[in-house]
């Protein structure tokens, strides 16, 4: 019979390939770790490590390392599943979302969730798309909220609402780049937003790794335009604030816009009142679907299932309200 403690200690040693570091990681003595490894070798009647410097895994050790992670994950999922069946009064749920998107999405879900399931401990992890995909892959979070499709592998997704990326073009930027023809350029943009018309204008963009930045880069690539980037930032609100002040053009989700701004983007950009033009983009990549993602290979806890249920009940109303403003 496999001893899970022995398996856990073997995996730590296999990952560290150093008994001293592995023992420190496990908060046990090196001698105790060696005893556990010896017990595993006796149980399987094989040598798992080549006691060389540096330490290496034998072929049997390499095979067991793969299985050890699978078995320990399965053990954890089994305990979670049985706990769910036994009693759903307690538990925890970790949610990954972008810094800004959470401000608009989570207030529509979490108050209802907490009211229905007050015993569930909620954890919020904020980051960009690539960071959250990595967290989901490694089990740091249970759920991820982002634009579909997700870059992480082995992920099942549930679409919840539509999202559109807008082009934010201040008059001040057009005047600086085209002092004699800025108004004519603005009229051309109103006929159809085309980044090729803005090739000589400055841009304020998000850092690479953010989904909105990825979409922007794809749009530039399709148009064969190399943008003049004056600043990159991790915070999409910073990008918008700097754009509003005339520092550069940026990309911004309609969902994040105030109702008054979002209502004026389809036919009448906000030019005369505020000097800020918000253009829908005629690129398929600028129109996406916001979704929830979870690891398809892991047991879905009831806490996760109930979060998805409430999101599907609440978020479509948010999207509908925004469109009707």
pLDDT digits (tens, 9 = 90+) for 91-103: 789 999 987 788 8
- pLDDT of 323 > 60? The answer is no
Domains 90-159+291-324 and 163-287 share a fold: yes
Q: Which CATH number fits domain 90-159+291-324: 2.60.40.10, 3.30.70.20, 3.40.190.10, 2.40.160.20?
A: 3.40.190.10
In sequence order, what are the beta bridge partners of 94?
123
Instruction: Report domain extents, the chain.
Output: 4-85, 90-159+291-324, 163-287
Q: Which residue has the tokens 């989904």?
A: 211
DSSP state of 249: B
Cβ-based neighbour number of residue 322 at 10 Å? 18
Give CA–CA dist 37/43, Å, rounded. 10
- pLDDT of 298 > 80? The answer is no
Give CA–CA dist 33/237, Å, rounded. 50
pLDDT in tens, 11-57: 999 999 999 999 999 999 999 999 999 998 998 999 999 988 889 99
**What is the per-residue DSSP string for 271-322?**
-TTTSEEEEEB--GGGEEEEEEEEETTS---HHHHHHHHHHHHHHHHHHHHH
How large is the average pLDDT for residues 232-239? 92
Q: How confident is the model at residue 90 (pLDDT cuts 50, 70, 90)?
A: low
pTM beyond 0.85: no
- Which pLDDT does position 79 carry in this prediction? 79
Q: Which superfamily does 163-287 belong to?
A: Periplasmic binding protein-like II (3.40.190.10)
Alpha helices in 27-95 (DSSP H): 30-44, 59-86
- Would you state the structure tokens that stand for residue 296, as one six-digit string? 């398809």
How large is the average pLDDT for residues 184-208? 91
* Topology given in CATH for the domain delimited by 4-85: Arc Repressor Mutant, subunit A (1.10.10)
9 contacts 72 by C-beta, under 8 angstroms: no
Give CA–CA dist 40/23, Å, rounded. 16
Give CA–CA dist 250/229, Å, rounded. 10
Q: How confident is the model at residue 85 (pLDDT cuts 50, 70, 90)?
A: low
Residues in the chain, total: 325
Which long-range CB contacts under 8 A does 18-27 form with residues at least 24 apart? 18/54, 18/55, 19/55
Q: How confident is the model at residue 302 (pLDDT cuts 50, 70, 90)?
A: confident
């Amino acid at each position: 019979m496999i001893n899970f403690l022995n398996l856990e200690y073997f995996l730590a040693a296999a990952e560290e390939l150093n008994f001293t570091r592995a023992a420190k990681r496990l908060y046990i003595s090196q001698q105790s770790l060696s005893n556990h490894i010896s017990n595993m070798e006796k149980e399987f009647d094989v040598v798992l490590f080549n006691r060389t410097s540096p330490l290496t895994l034998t072929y049997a050790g390499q095979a067991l390392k793969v299985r050890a992670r699978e078995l320990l994950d399965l053990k954890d999922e089994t305990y979670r599943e049985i706990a769910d069946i036994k009693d759903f009064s307690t538990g925890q749920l970790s949610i990954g979302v972008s810094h800004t998107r959470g401000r608009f999405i989570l207030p529509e879900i979490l108050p209802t969730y907490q009211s229905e399931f007050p015993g569930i401990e909620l954890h919020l992890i904020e980051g960009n798309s690539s960071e959250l995909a990595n967290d989901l892959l490694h089990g740091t979070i249970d759920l991820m909220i982002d634009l579909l499709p997700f870059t992480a592998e082995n992920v099942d997704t549930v679409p919840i609402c539509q999202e559109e990326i807008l082009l934010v073009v201040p008059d001040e930027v057009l005047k600086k780049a085209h002092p004699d023809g800025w108004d004519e350029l603005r009229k051309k943009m109103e006929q159809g937003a085309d980044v090729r018309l803005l090739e000589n204008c400055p841009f304020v963009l998000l850092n690479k790794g953010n989904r909105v930045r990825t979409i922007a880069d794809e749009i530039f690539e399709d148009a064969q335009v190399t943008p003049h980037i004056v600043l990159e930032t991790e915070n999409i609100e910073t990008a918008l604030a700097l754009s509003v002040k005339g520092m550069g053009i940026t990309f911004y989700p309609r969902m994040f816009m105030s109702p008054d701004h979002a209502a004026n983007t389809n036919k009448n950009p906000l030019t005369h009142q505020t000097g800020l033009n918000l253009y829908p983009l005629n690129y398929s990549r600028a129109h996406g679907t916001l979704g929830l993602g979870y690891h398809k290979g892991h047991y879905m806890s009831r806490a996760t299932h109930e979060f998805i249920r409430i999101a599907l009940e609440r978020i479509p109303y948010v999207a509908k309200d925004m469109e009707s403003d």
